[in-house]
C-alpha cells in the first residue's frame, strides 16, 4: 500500500483502533523533534504537516483533539498521527503537563488495517517464511502499531525520546542516521508491546531453528555434491526429517533450492566474468555443461550464452 489511508470513523478513544504496519524496508527520516509543556499557543492553534507525528505524553492530562475527537491523554500514552491530520488542544493543560513529539517521513508509507479487522488475519505475525532463503525476494512480517496505546515501557521510550531530541537539537556528523535508529527502536518497542497486549505467541518453534541450521548448511555446501549421509551426519538428524522440515518452511525441496543457488551464482559469474560456460558450470557444481545449459534455460528461459549476450 502506498502512503496512508485515513480510515473514516477510526476510534481514537480506545477499542476498534486503527493499526499501522511498517515494513523493515521502510526508510524513516526524522524531520523535527521537541517537547511541549503547557504552551497556551499550541492549544489555541490548529496544527497539521506533511509528516507522521509520534506523540508520547510525559505528564498528563493532555487535552488533544484529533480526527474530530476530543482526547484526554495520560502519562505514558502514545498517539501516532498521519500526514496532514489536523490536531490541536481543546482545553488548557496544567503547566506540568506535556508531551514529546517527533515528525518523521516514511517511504514507503505505513500500511493501514481497518479498525474492524483482525490484524492476525492480514499480517502473518512472526510467521517464518521463505524470505530466509538467499534466492527469495520476500520480506519478513512488518511491525504492527496501534494509532493510540499506553506504553508499558514508558520510561524506556521517554529516554529514547530525550536522546532523539538531543540529536536533532545538536546535529553533528551522521545525526540523521542516529535519529532514524532511535525512532526505529521506539517503534519496535511499541510494536513488541502490541504483540504482548494482544496475547500473540512471540516464540518460534524448535523446528524453525532446525530449519535455519539446514539453510545455513546448504548455503555453505551447495557447490559440491552432498550425500544424504552427509546431511544426516552434519545436522545430526535423519535425512527424511531434514527434508520434511525444509519443505515445511521453505515451500520447496532441498534439491530445488540447491539448483536455485547454483543458477543464481552462475548468473553472477556470467555477468561479472568472461569465463567459458563450461568452467562456470563446473564452478557451481555441474560436471556436465550440457545438463547445466538445459537446466539454466529451463529456469531462466534463455541459454547461458544468450543470457550473457543480453547483458
Mean pLDDT of the chain: 87
The CA distances from residue 143 to 77, 106, 250, in Å, are 19, 14, 22
* pLDDT of the residue at 1: 34
Residue 255: cis peptide before it, omega within 30 degrees of 0: no
pLDDT over 70 (residue 278): yes
Is residue 124 scored above 60 in pLDDT? no
Q: Three cell numbers at 120?
A: 492476525
pLDDT at 212: 92
Q: How far apart are CA 238 and CA 232, in angstroms?
A: 5
Asked if pLDDT for residue 249 goes beyond 80, the answer is yes
Q: What are phi and psi of 212, to 5 degrees?
A: -65, -40
Scanning the structure block, which residue is given the C-alpha cell 508491546?
193
- Tell me, what's the pLDDT at 205? 85
Reply yes or no on whether the pLDDT at 141 is more than 60.
Answer: yes
Please report which helix (H) or strand (E) contains residue 291, including its range.
Answer: helix 289-300
Omega within 30 of 0 (cis) for the link into 284: no
Which of 52-56, 148-152, 205-209 ranks highest by mean pLDDT? 52-56
Domain ranges of the chain: 19-197, 206-309
Residue 119, preceding bond cis, omega within 30 degrees? no
pLDDT for position 139: 67
pLDDT digit string, tens, across residues 28-58? 999 999 998 876 666 778 889 999 999 999 9
Is the pLDDT score of 271 beyond 90? yes
Residue with cell 504552551: 39
**Nearby residues of 159 by Cβ (< 8 Å), 6 or more positions away:** none
Half-sphere exposure of 32 (CA within 13 A, CB side): 11
233-244 pLDDT tens trace: 999 999 999 999
Interhelix angle 206-221/239-250, rounded to 10 degrees, is 100
Homologous superfamily of 206-309: Homeodomain-like (1.10.10.60)
pLDDT computed for residue 13 by the predictor: 53
pLDDT at 80 over 70: yes
Mean pLDDT in residue range 165-183: 97
Task: Report DSSP letters for 16-34, one per residue.
Answer: S--EEEE-TTPEEEEEEEE
Cα angle 54-58-62, degrees, rounded to a multiple of 5:
80
Which pLDDT score, from 0 to 100, does residue 9 have?
A: 34
Intrachain domains 19-197 and 206-309 with the same fold:
no
Distances in Å between the Cα of 4 and the Cα atoms of 38, 69, 107, 112, 114 are 31, 19, 11, 7, 11
Q: 19-197 sits in which CATH class? A: mainly beta
Residue 180 and residue 168: Cα distance in Å, rounded?
A: 11
What is the DSSP-derived secondary structure letter of residue 140?
A: P
Identify whether the C-beta of residue 37 lies closer than 8 Å to the C-beta of residue 96.
yes
C-alpha cell at 276: 567459458
Amino acid at each position: 500500500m502506498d502512503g496512508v489511508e485515513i480510515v473514516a470513523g477510526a476510534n481514537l478513544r480506545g477499542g476498534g483502533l486503527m493499526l499501522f504496519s511498517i515494513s523493515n524496508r521502510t526508510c524513516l527520516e526524522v524531520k523535527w523533534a521537541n517537547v511541549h509543556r503547557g504552551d497556551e499557543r499550541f492549544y489555541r492553534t490548529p496544527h497539521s504537516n506533511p509528516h507522521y507525528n509520534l506523540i508520547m505524553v510525559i505528564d498528563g492530562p493532555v487535552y488533544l483533539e484529533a480526527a474530530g475527537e476530543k482526547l484526554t491523554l495520560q502519562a505514558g500514552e502514545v498517539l501516532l498521527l498521519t500526514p496532514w491530520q489536523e490536531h490541536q488542544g481543546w482545553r488548557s493543560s496544567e503547566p506540568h503537563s506535556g508531551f514529546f513529539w517527533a515528525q518523521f517521513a516514511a517511504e514507503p508509507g505505513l500500511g493501514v488495517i481497518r479498525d474492524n479487522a483482525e490484524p492476525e488475519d492480514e499480517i502473518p505475525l512472526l510467521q517464518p517464511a521463505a524470505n530466509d532463503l538467499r534466492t527469495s525476494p520476500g520480506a519478513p512480517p512488518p511491525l504492527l502499531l496501534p494509532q493510540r496505546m499506553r506504553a508499558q515501557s514508558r520510561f524506556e521510550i521517554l529516554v529514547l525520546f530525550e536522546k532523539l531530541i538531543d540529536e536533532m537539537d545538536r546535529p553533528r556528523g551522521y545525526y540523521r542516521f542516529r535519529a532514524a535508529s532511535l525512532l526505529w527502536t521506539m517503534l519496535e518497542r511499541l510494536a513488541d508491546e502490541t504483540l504482548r497486549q494482544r496475547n500473540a505467541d512471540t516464540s518460534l518453534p524448535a523446528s524453525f531453528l532446525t530449519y535455519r541450521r539446514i539453510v545455513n548448511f546448504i548455503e555453505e555446501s551447495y557447490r559440491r555434491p552432498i550425500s544424504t549421509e552427509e546431511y544426516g551426519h552434519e545436522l545430526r538428524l535423519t535425512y527424511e526429517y531434514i527434508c520434511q522440515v525444509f519443505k515445511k518452511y521453505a515451500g520447496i525441496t532441498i534439491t530445488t533450492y540447491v539448483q536455485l543457488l547454483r543458477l543464481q551464482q552462475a548468473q553472477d559469474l556470467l555477468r561479472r566474468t568472461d569465463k567459458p560456460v563450461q568452467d562456470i558450470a563446473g564452478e557451481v557444481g555441474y560436471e556436465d555443461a550440457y545438463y547445466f545449459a538445459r537446466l539454466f534455460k529451463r529456469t531462466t528461459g534463455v541459454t547461458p550464452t544468450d543470457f550473457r549476450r543480453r547483458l
